[in-house]
Amino acid sequence: MRRRGFGGRWVAGAAIWLAAATGAGRAQDHAEHDPADIAYGLDVYRAQCANCHAETGDGVAGVDLRGGQLRRAATDRDLIGVIRNGIPGTGMSAFDLDTADMAAIVAYLRNMTFEIDAVPLGDAARGRTIFEGRGACLDCHRVRDRGPRAGPDLTAIGAARPPSALRRSLLDPTGTMRPIDRPVELVTADGTRVTGRRLNEDTYTVQLIDEQARLRSFDKAGLRGFRVLTASPMPAYGDRLDAGELADLLAYLVSLKG
């Protein structure tokens, strides 16, 4: 997440220093939010905001982020403005978030839930066997120096994401897929169709890892077609593993701290 303003404790509490309106109802003119953005927003919130605002959103005296009742941000546009500009005279500094993180944190704050999922963890050693064996995770993902880069690198996934988020990804990979991780399909000038995982995209170019794990860059102006796909290539493991195996696999993922 790119930031401007100042660091230290307030960076860790970078959600929003917003006063909740007493008795105010939720604004009705903010947008509906994609479930994937809400799920990703939980990860952003826990990584950047929960140290100060707490998991429940009420860790700062006089501020309650729950329920979307934000006095300074009746609409999503207002909320984005507060995040980008900060609140002078308070601990809320200005933050320059990229598009995906901004959409995610707004989506989560508008749909905030503070239940902390009780996630059963099994045996990490058995989970590694599943990961490297019939789970076929190394077919797409890389851990340290093993596996391709067709999917996101999982070397430090246990440090980056909480167990509840990892479990949701195993059960519903499409619904929890981060916007930047959505696969793309493009057609080159000579009609060649290329699919892969998007690494970076700007106005003029797109970089991706293709299905042969090759890093490729394309000028958008030279493409005959380009689209972002909505379905994750990762299978849902709720139908492939029983509860014990799922807990073992999850324990292994949680153990991956980089």
Claim to verify: residue 196 and residue 83 sit in the same structural domain: no
Claim to verify: residue 165 and residue 239 sit in the same structural domain: yes
Amino acid 18: pLDDT: 39
Claim to verify: residue 49 and residue 128 sit in the same structural domain: no
Calculate mean pLDDT across residues 43-67: 71
CA distance 240 to 139: 16
Amino acid 179: pLDDT: 75
Amino acid 12: pLDDT: 31
The contacts of residue 32 (CB under 8 Å, 6+ apart) are none
Amino acid 72: pLDDT: 78
Per-residue pLDDT tens over the stretch 100-109 = 888 888 888 8
Amino acid 219: pLDDT: 96
130: helix, coil or strand? helix
Residue with the larger pLDDT of the pair 20 and 86 = 86
Claim to verify: residue 86 and residue 23 sit in the same structural domain: yes
Kindly report the length of the chain.
258
Claim to verify: residue 132 and residue 82 sit in the same structural domain: no
- Segments forming the whole domain that contains residue 142: 124-176+233-255
Amino acid 52: pLDDT: 65
Amino acid 224: pLDDT: 96
DSSP 8-class letter at 20: B
**Reported confidence tier of residue 59, pLDDT bands at 50, 70, 90:** low
**Reported confidence tier of residue 93, pLDDT bands at 50, 70, 90:** confident
User: What is the domain-level CATH number for residue 170?
Assistant: 1.10.760.10
Per-residue pLDDT tens over the stretch 208-256 = 998 888 899 999 999 999 999 989 999 999 999 999 999 999 999 999 9
Residue among 181, 221, 210, 235 at smallest CA distance from 37: 181
Q: Which of 110, 134, 161 is the last residue of a domain?
A: 110
DSSP 8-class letter at 237: T
* Domain presence at residue 1: no
* Domain presence at residue 21: yes
* Domain presence at residue 116: no
Claim to verify: residue 18 and residue 82 sit in the same structural domain: yes
Residue among 94, 71, 68, 99 at smallest CA distance from 82: 94
Claim to verify: residue 203 and residue 94 sit in the same structural domain: no
Is the pLDDT at 29 greater than 90? The verdict is no
Per-residue pLDDT tens over the stretch 181-218 = 889 999 999 999 999 988 888 899 999 998 888 899 99
Q: Where are the beta strands (DSSP E) in 42-192?
A: 183-187
Q: Which of 110, 138, 153 is the last residue of a domain?
A: 110
* Domain presence at residue 2: no
Claim to verify: residue 39 and residue 84 sit in the same structural domain: yes
Lowest mean pLDDT among 8-22, 33-47, 71-85, 192-206: 8-22
Look at the chain and report how many structural domains it folds into.
3
Amino acid 38: pLDDT: 82
Claim to verify: residue 190 and residue 162 sit in the same structural domain: no
* Domain presence at residue 165: yes
Claim to verify: residue 169 and residue 205 sit in the same structural domain: no
Per-residue pLDDT tens over the stretch 102-154 = 888 888 888 876 544 567 899 999 999 999 999 999 999 999 999 988 888 99
* Domain presence at residue 215: yes
Claim to verify: residue 170 and residue 243 sit in the same structural domain: yes
